[in-house]
Structure 1
């Protein structure tokens, strides 16, 4: 069976040059980065210039038959709003991009208003980065709630990665009940390999909340391909909220330092624990409706030279 495949969690950047928790993150050569005190393989080694561009991603998407992708953001990559709006303008049928504010300091509501003015359709909160040395930034604080109401009014989508476990669950529940028409995508599959992950998943019992699996192959990296534990987790989450609330995401490009881009979803395709209908919903059907993608390209399978 052929599936329409949409990646609900990916990243793009031109260069990493930032700090998180006072520690530097800098692009090096050969796909490596200085990452908070150590050198890490941030990109596949053939991406020698450290540029994680839309064009390279599109080549991967076409090869893997991924029709469209949602580009989120993370502080470890630096704020990429300027580049991502350019990507959205040049490839409107393939990408939906998320804007990012500096939520670690007051004043981000003004930034959010500017993102809305510029035409962003979604805003990302790396809430897992909001536990600061000066105290945690609450999701239900006054400035956050004012932003969420503004997003709801302008029909923007909230993409959010949360701290592991249930630390921020009640705060986000306050947002959900206060803004019932704000569409919310919770990332990293609720930080599935940590205790309390199902509490994040259960938030998708609200009609406006969905779950995406960006980073699930990273979280199950110790067991590696074919990620049977990840499939069991998808099955468990579907039992809690329904398969119609779950979406596939890759966390490209970091995850393809260990596996190929196609491998980040074909463990689902090849699993016998999910039906064809469930795979179709998870791999693209749910994301197409949730994010509002229109007509998508039909991407033929291209044989490898080794076949």
Structure 2
């Protein structure tokens, strides 16, 4: 089956050197980072310098026959706006890039305007990171609403990940009502393995809201490949909001410390519980429409040496 495959949730960075909730995130060695309180394998161990670059990602994409990718940002990686602007300049057909603001400084709208002028498709808001021990930024706060109204008026897209257990669902529902023309992608498949994930899923019943599956293999990591629980969740989501409301995302590169990049969607291709049309929409066609991708490269199959 010939498919257009687009990754709706990925990350790039040159180096992690930041903090969150007053705890450090630092690149160390062999693909590892000190993350908050412990050293973890943040990248595959062959990425020894800690650089998670577009060129390495493109090599993975070409091998897996993924034609395009949406690059979002996370506060735990530190701001990568300068690097992603360069990535977009160098590889305009393959990548759509999303900006990141300092959402704690009350200047989100001002920063978003500047990033829009630099060519960013939209803004990434890791909502779950806006809840810290010392401060909580409400998604429906005046400064955030100013940013969302600007984005709506200027055709930008919001990529947002929400805290589990519906902690922020009511906030984003207010954003949806206030900005009905704002295109919104809800990440991490609504925190599908957490209690009450259906509340996030049902947000996609609104006209301009989509759900993307970035991180779904992480959330179902305990059962591992072929992620039968994830397939059942995708089936439930299709039955709840429709196949045209869902997009595949990998959460590259963190998820490929456990599996290969191709495995992050291959389990969907091999699933018995989804139709060919549902797979085509989920793996690429919905993302092509939602993000406005143009012509993508033709990526022929290359035989593995081990075959």
In which range does the TM-score fall when normalised by the shorter chain? over 0.9
The alignment status of 1:148 with 2:158, answered yes or no, reads: no
Deviations, residues 228-267 of structure 1 (Å, cap 9, x unaligned): 0000000011111001100000000000000000000000
Counterpart CA distance in 1 for 2:204 and 2:125 is 17
Partner in structure 1 of residue 243 of structure 2: 243
Counterpart CA distance in 2 for 1:259 and 1:270 is 16
Which deviates more, 132-141 or 142-151?
132-141
Please say if residues 165 and 200 of structure 1, whose CA atoms lie closer than 8 Å, have aligned partners that are also in contact: no
SS of 1:14's partner is: coil
Correspondences of 1:210-229 after superposition (within 5 Å): 210-229=210-229
Which deviates more, 137-146 or 66-75?
137-146
Query: How does the TM-score come out when normalised to structure 1?
Result: 0.99
Partner in structure 1 of residue 139 of structure 2: 139
Q: Which runs of 5+ in 2 are unaligned?
A: none
The alignment status of 1:16 with 2:19, answered yes or no, reads: no
Q: Which runs of 5+ in 1 are unaligned?
A: none
Please say if residues 109 and 150 of structure 2, whose CA atoms lie closer than 8 Å, have aligned partners that are also in contact: no
Please say if residues 225 and 267 of structure 2, whose CA atoms lie closer than 8 Å, have aligned partners that are also in contact: yes
Query: How does the TM-score come out when normalised to structure 2?
Result: 0.99
How far does residue 119 in structure 1 lie from its aligned partner after superposition? Answer: 1.7
CA RMSD of aligned residues (A): 0.7
**1:37–1:134 distance in 2 versus 1, CA, 3 Å:** closer
Deviations, residues 266-304 of structure 1 (Å, cap 9, x unaligned): 000000100000000000010000000001111011110
Please say if residues 101 and 111 of structure 2, whose CA atoms lie closer than 8 Å, have aligned partners that are also in contact: yes
Partner in structure 2 of residue 268 of structure 1: 268
Across the two proteins, how many residue pairs are aligned to each other? 307
SS of 2:109's partner is: helix
Counterpart CA distance in 2 for 1:244 and 1:113 is 30
SS of 2:230's partner is: helix
